[in-house]
Amino acid sequence: MVPRYARPEMTAIWSPETRFAIWFEIEAHATDALAELGVVPKDAAEKIWAAHEAAGPFDIARIDAIEAETKHDVIAFLTHVSERTGPEARFLHQGMTSSDVLDTCLAVQLARASDILIADLDRLLEVLKRRAYEHKLTPTIGRSHGIHAEPVTFGLKMAEAYAEFARNRARLVAARADVATCAISGAVGTFANIDPRVEAYVADKLGLSVEPVSTQVIPRDRHAMFFATLGVIASSIERLATEVRHLQRTEVLEAEEYFSPGQKGSSAMPHKRNPVLTENLTGLARMVRSATIPAMENVALWHERDISHSSVERYIGPDATITLDFALARLTGVMDKLLVYPARMQKNLDRMGGLVHSQRVLLALTQAGVSREDAYRLVQRNAMKVWESDGALSLLDLLKADAEVTAALSPEEIEARFDLDYHFKNVDTIFARVFGEA
């Protein structure tokens, strides 16, 4: 985790203080359930909670010192709890194994992280929707292969991004449900020394579902899907960030990141206004995606468990969620303050002498009885003259002067195919599909 790209709420989920607090809740809730089943004395379970409340926060340095000797993190934690609690601490961890604590804790952390990320997506979606409606009918050029194609609207670009992040939200909700499972099943997961009702009790207290079958660990296909989902969200961030970066290029300049008073773009060139935030987002997206392959490789553990996954998850759990949280917040800020230049969009639309209307003329010729091959030839030969003139010539004028074209279409019929608004007749339909509103 790099502090530069971290926000406090998400970072706190992965702090030692939070981790040990969750560990204690797992252990104490399990002891409560055992007390209800008559396995341990009820007053012992109550005293464990009371001692914890009286003692206050855990001594992280003390736990670390114990672990330096025991070489076992859960044992070090339980030893410290015993020091704070007294003889009743012997009833903690009855029939449990370390993975019951570690895996269930990770599930809680990933669920909490998901809740923050879902809220991040909600804020981004709100901004994208607002910008979509703001520029619903702002004409701009659509590009394929980076080349002018046909007119679209900037609102449609924003609606497309909204739809993509709405899908990502649904994926993350599903991934959260998939990863938020509890395992309190003991060594190799057979419940030999602990009642399955304890697992159900702890799961309910922590807002998790019960893992149907857990060996000694929760199956890592759940985590693989979770981190893969984060990777997809990161890819969507990069896609939108890349769009902004292209639109900000000097020769395009249809939109750009907000440039605040006093901001500097270059140490050498005072005129520069660089897309630094979206470039940063592109890099952050790569880092989030880097967690997906290790998460998938964690699925193949030996037999009922090994710990090859453990070191990986100590990295990717905090790093991927913290980085994605920061990236989503940054992208929301970029899109909220994005400077949009409709006049430049119109200028770019007009730059190539009407070439963007070539398909409508092609279709009109075919509907007038010209074969598709001939219609394509007629339009293309005039279009290439406009292309080679860098837009100095007009496609409309050339077509109206082409005898083969005017043999099939009148000048008025040709002109009718150069109506920009024609391309936007179904924008309302697309918006209704995306936003569910008439």
Under DSSP, is residue 250 helix (H, G, I), strand (E, B) or coil? coil
Cα 130 to Cα 159: distance, rounded to the nearest angstrom: 10
- Active-site choice (145, 260, 271, 303): 145
The tokens describing 411, both together, are: 């000048």
The tokens describing 86, both together, are: 């007294």
Cα 319 to Cα 333: distance, rounded to the nearest angstrom: 21
In single-letter form, the type of residue at position 238 comes to: E
Say if CB 339 and CB 130 are below 8 A apart: no
User: How many C-beta atoms surround the C-beta of residue 205 within 10 A?
Assistant: 16
> Does 266 participate in catalysis according to the annotation?
yes
CA 93, 94, 97: angle at the middle one, nearest 5?
A: 60
- Active-site choice (80, 98, 148, 266): 266
User: How many C-beta atoms surround the C-beta of residue 363 within 10 A?
Assistant: 14
The tokens describing 31, both together, are: 């002891």
The residue to which tokens 């193949």 are assigned: 300
List CB contacts of 223: < 8 A, sequence separation 6 or more.
106, 110, 179, 295, 298, 309, 313
In single-letter form, the type of residue at position 7 comes to: R
Say if CB 50 and CB 354 are below 8 A apart: no
Cα 230 to Cα 226: distance, rounded to the nearest angstrom: 7
Under DSSP, is residue 191 helix (H, G, I), strand (E, B) or coil? coil
> Does 271 participate in catalysis according to the annotation?
no
* Active-site amino acid positions: 145, 266
